[in-house]
């Protein structure tokens, strides 16, 4: 699931990890989850698979606030973990979801969002099923539990053929571990090797932290079964056009991750260069909004030959505003997180680079802060197109009324924000930077275009 960026907030969904067949899997899984903390820090959970069955622990807050020795779990060589920001189901329910059936146990960790979860939930409840939350992941677990199919693999396939939306899943069903990615491949999922064991995670940065060797990405529509150390790959779902979320390259993923064979850092730096080519301006310096605008600002600086200055200091001991669940908390966090450097800014013309504008609340306050520091001009440059539409695939932008670009004309937005000028990277420029071509293939860009690849309630158009 995801929420909203540094300039008003777009928060990534969730992060998942599985450490399978590895000694000290508990500590390693927590380390891997720490590497995925940017994908959500409201809560985390871990499911430990041991000889006595499955033990599940859920905690609010950040992963490193917990010592592995304090979890009071039996030794385990297989662990499934999850960090989350709430997109559906609110902030009160963390994953992995656990179900105890008559003859087997089910664990599900989910990164994404089901677009028909409400419909399935209503059907399940009408059949007498009692659900404990509104989290869409629980729907998947119950569909598996209620499946009449015989094997764990068949039960999972049966369940997922009933759902629609984006999902990268890690599951424990009937004593076996599975990794599944939706047929569109909207959310990332990577496979690695660690000794004789396996690590699967939302991003390669988590594999790096565990010193696991990257093997490949889980393919769109793939169901990977892990049994007794063996990997069995199946493709049981109808093949769809690949639609990887392009915003993973713009903002969501860590810059040291590799997504679908492409360095996130390289993408963001090239995005910044494209932005400079499209919107050069007479200025004294380039200033990034930290941390999300840093790499794009570096690219802008190199292309424009303007010096990069870290004129906004960020307090890293304050949590990211876009991940805070309520507007009141987000607004308060802005002042705690940033401070403008008067020594660098006084009398200067500044190019302020950020990744996106969603609500615009943070950016508006930052611009006011720069004026107070004596800046003479503030030219805002955004390293993505205007976000005009909500995401239904795991990002917390449920209402179009919350999106500043959908409600304020472009010509009026700079006045609203208090900037001297404002420019958004074009969609063509984004594609040139990320894929080397202006052709809109292989990516989901619905937040910019409204072209939704998967049908869901409220979408203006579907493909």
454 domain residue, yes or no: no
Say which residues have a Cβ less than 8 Å from residue 94's Cβ, sequence separation at least 6: 42, 43, 44, 45, 58, 59, 60, 82, 84
Say which residues have a Cβ less than 8 Å from residue 160's Cβ, sequence separation at least 6: 140, 143, 167, 180, 237
Sign of CA dihedral 318, 320, 350, 311: positive
CB atoms within 10 A of CB 56: 17
Q: How far is 24 from 181, CA to CA, in rounded Å?
A: 27
282 shares its domain with 391: yes
User: 319-356: buried (b, 16+ CB within 10 Å) or exposed (e) per residue?
Assistant: bbbbbbeeeeebeebbeebbebeeebbeebbbbbbbbb
Q: How far is 185 from 245, CA to CA, in rounded Å?
A: 8
Residue 25 · residue 76 · CB < 8 Å: yes
User: Binning pLDDT at 50, 70 and 90, where does residue 189 land?
Assistant: very high
17 shares its domain with 85: yes
Q: Is 205 annotated as a binding residue?
A: no
Catalytic entry in 14, 101, 129, 456: 14
Look at residues 189, 222, 252 and tell me which one is the last residue of a structural domain: 252
Q: Is the pLDDT assigned to residue 459 strictly greater than 70?
A: no
Say which residues have a Cβ less than 8 Å from residue 455's Cβ, sequence separation at least 6: 115, 164, 462
Q: What is the mean pLDDT of residues 50-64?
A: 88
CATH of the domain at 399: 3.40.50.2020
- Distinct helix (H) and strand (E) counts, the chain: 15, 25
Give Cα separations from 321 to 5, 219, 226, 348, 378 (angstroms).
8, 33, 38, 27, 22
372 shares its domain with 412: yes
Q: What is the pLDDT of residues 343-398, one digit of tens each?
A: 999 999 999 999 999 989 889 999 999 999 999 999 999 999 999 999 999 887 65
What is the structure's pLDDT at 8?
A: 47
Q: Is 456 annotated as a binding residue?
A: no
14 is catalytic: yes
297 domain residue, yes or no: yes
239 shares its domain with 312: no
277 shares its domain with 347: yes
Q: What is the mean pLDDT of residues 54-67?
A: 88
Instruction: For residue 49, give its domain range.
Output: 2-252
Give Cα separations from 267 to 28, 140, 207, 296, 427 (angstroms).
29, 34, 20, 9, 14
Indicate the burial class of 100 (C-beta count within 10 angstroms; 0-12, 13-18, 19 or more).
exposed
pLDDT over 90, % of the chain: 75
350 shares its domain with 402: yes
Taking alpha carbons only, the member of 201, 222, 220 closest to residue 212 is: 201
Q: pTM of this prediction?
A: 0.91
Query: What is the number of domains present in the chain?
Result: 2
DSSP string, 22-46: -TTHHHHHHHHHHHTGGG--SEEEE
Q: What is the mean pLDDT of residues 219-244?
A: 96
278 shares its domain with 247: no
CATH of the domain at 207: 3.60.20.10
What is the structure's pLDDT at 10?
A: 54
User: Binning pLDDT at 50, 70 and 90, where does residue 441 land?
Assistant: confident
112 shares its domain with 235: yes
Taking alpha carbons only, the member of 238, 401, 182, 382 closest to residue 297 is: 382
287 shares its domain with 389: yes
What is the structure's pLDDT at 286?
A: 99
Q: Is the pLDDT assigned to residue 197 strictly greater than 80?
A: yes
What is the structure's pLDDT at 317?
A: 72
Proportion of the chain in helix, strand, coil states, percent, rounded to 5: 30, 30, 40
463 domain residue, yes or no: no
49 shares its domain with 103: yes
Q: Is 444 annotated as a binding residue?
A: yes
141 shares its domain with 272: no
Q: Is 55 annotated as a binding residue?
A: no
Say which residues have a Cβ less than 8 Å from residue 9's Cβ, sequence separation at least 6: 3, 321, 322, 323, 324, 330, 358, 359, 361, 362, 396
81 shares its domain with 189: yes
Q: Is 355 annotated as a binding residue?
A: yes
């Amino acid at each position: 699931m995801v929420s909203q960026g540094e300039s008003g907030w777009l928060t990534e969904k969730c992060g998942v990890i599985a450490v399978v067949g590895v000694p000290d899997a508990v500590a390693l899984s927590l380390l891997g989850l720490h590497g995925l903390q940017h994908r959500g820090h409201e809560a985390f959970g871990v499911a430990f698979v041991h000889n006595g069955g499955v033990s599940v622990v859920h905690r609010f807050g950040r992963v490193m606030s917990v010592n592995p020795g304090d979890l009071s779990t039996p030794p385990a060589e297989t662990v499934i973990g999850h960090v989350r920001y709430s997109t559906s189901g609110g902030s009160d329910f963390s994953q992995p979801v656990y179900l105890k059936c008559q003859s087997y146990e089910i664990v599900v960790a989910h990164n994404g969002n089901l677009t028909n979860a409400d419909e399935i939930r209503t059907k399940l409840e009408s059949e007498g099923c009692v659900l404990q939350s509104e989290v869409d992941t629980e729907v998947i677990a119950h569909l598996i539990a209620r499946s009449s199919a015989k094997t764990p693999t068949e039960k999972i396939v049966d369940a997922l053929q009933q759902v629609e939306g984006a999902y990268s899943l890690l599951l424990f069903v009937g004593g076996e571990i599975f990794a599944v990615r939706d047929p569109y491949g909207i959310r990332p999922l990577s496979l690695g090797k660690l000794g004789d064991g396996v690590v699967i995670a939302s991003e390669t940065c988590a594999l790096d932290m565990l010193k696991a060797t990257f093997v490949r990405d889980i393919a769109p529509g793939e169901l990977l079964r892990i049994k007794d150390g063996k990997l069995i790959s199946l493709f049981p779902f109808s093949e769809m056009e690949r639609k990887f979320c392009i915003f993973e390259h713009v903002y969501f993923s860590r810059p040291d991750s590799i997504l679908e064979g492409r360095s996130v850092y390289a993408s963001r730096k090239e995005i910044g260069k494209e932005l400079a080519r499209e919107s050069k301006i007479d200025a004294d310096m380039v200033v990034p909004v930290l941390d999300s605008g840093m790499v794009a600002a570096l690219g802008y600086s190199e292309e424009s030959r303007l010096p990069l200055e870290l004129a906004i200091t960020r307090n890293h001991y304050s949590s990211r505003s876009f991940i805070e669940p309520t507007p009141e908390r987000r607004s308060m966090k802005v002042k705690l997180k940033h401070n403008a450097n008067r020594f660098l800014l006084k009398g200067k013309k500044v190019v302020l680079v950020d990744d996106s504008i969603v609500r615009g609340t943070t950016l508006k306050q930052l611009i006011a802060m720069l004026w107070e520091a004596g800046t003479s001009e503030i030219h805002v440059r955004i390293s993505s197109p205007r976000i005009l539409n909500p995401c239904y695939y795991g990002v917390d932008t449920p209402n179009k009324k919350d999106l500043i670009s959908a409600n304020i004309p472009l010509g009026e937005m700079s006045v609203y924000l208090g900037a001297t000028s404002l420019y958004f990277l074009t969609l063509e420029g984004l594609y040139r930077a990320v894929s080397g071509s202006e052709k809109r293939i292989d990516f989901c860009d619905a937040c910019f275009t409204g072209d939704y690849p998967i049908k869901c309630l409220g979408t203006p158009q579907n493909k």
